[in-house]
């Protein structure tokens, strides 16, 4: 049994993580027996499942893959600049291979977003919409088109 219970005497709670709770559902498991033993020792304590605190302001970059970055560079750079940036991108990916996996993607993502800030700004509604200059064009009628 790797997952254990934590007893908080101040809040009078018995805290378990998600894996322990899942294993304790089986009445024949070690976790179930351990939970019942602790509940007998502390009958007035409340059993709670630990929740991970989530940052609501965290920016998520779902879809910003290496393949997407490469395609974006290919379609938004011209001629010699495209070749140079793709070489730089390939070099960064090669260099990142010697680092642990948790440092590879964030480093390349940071470089990409610094090089193409429009990706980070895409979908910004309130501040960006106030600063943009939108001009209403006159409606073209069928007579004007002919």
The tens digit of pLDDT for each residue in 5-24 reads 999 999 999 999 999 999 99
User: Is the predicted pLDDT of residue 140 greater than 80, yes or no?
Assistant: no
Residue 1 has what pLDDT?
A: 60
Q: What is the reported pTM?
A: 0.47
Residue 121 has what pLDDT?
A: 76
Residue 46 has what pLDDT?
A: 95
3-state secondary structure the chain: CCCCCEEECCCCEEEECHHHHHHHCCCCCHHHHHHHHHHHHCCCCEEEECCCCCCCCCCCCCCCCHHHHHHHHHHHCCHHHHHHHHHHHHHHHHHHCCCCHHHHHHHHHHHHHHHCHHHHHCCCCHHHHHHCCCCCCCCCCHHHHC
């Amino acid at each position: 049994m790797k997952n254990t219970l934590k007893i908080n005497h101040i809040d009078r709670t018995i805290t378990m993580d998600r894996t322990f709770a899942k294993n304790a559902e089986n009445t024949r498991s070690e976790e179930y027996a351990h939970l019942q033993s602790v509940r007998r020792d502390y009958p007035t304590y409340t059993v709670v499942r630990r929740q991970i605190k989530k940052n609501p302001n965290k920016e998520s970059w779902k879809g910003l893959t290496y393949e997407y970055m490469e395609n974006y560079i290919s379609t938004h750079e011209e001629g010699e600049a495209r070749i140079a940036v793709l070489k730089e991108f390939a070099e960064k990916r090669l260099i990142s291979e010697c680092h642990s996996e948790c440092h590879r993607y964030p480093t390349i993502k940071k470089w990409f977003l610094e090089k193409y800030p429009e990706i980070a700004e895409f979908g910004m509604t309130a501040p960006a919409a106030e600063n943009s200059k939108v001009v209403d064009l006159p409606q073209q009628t069928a007579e004007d088109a002919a």
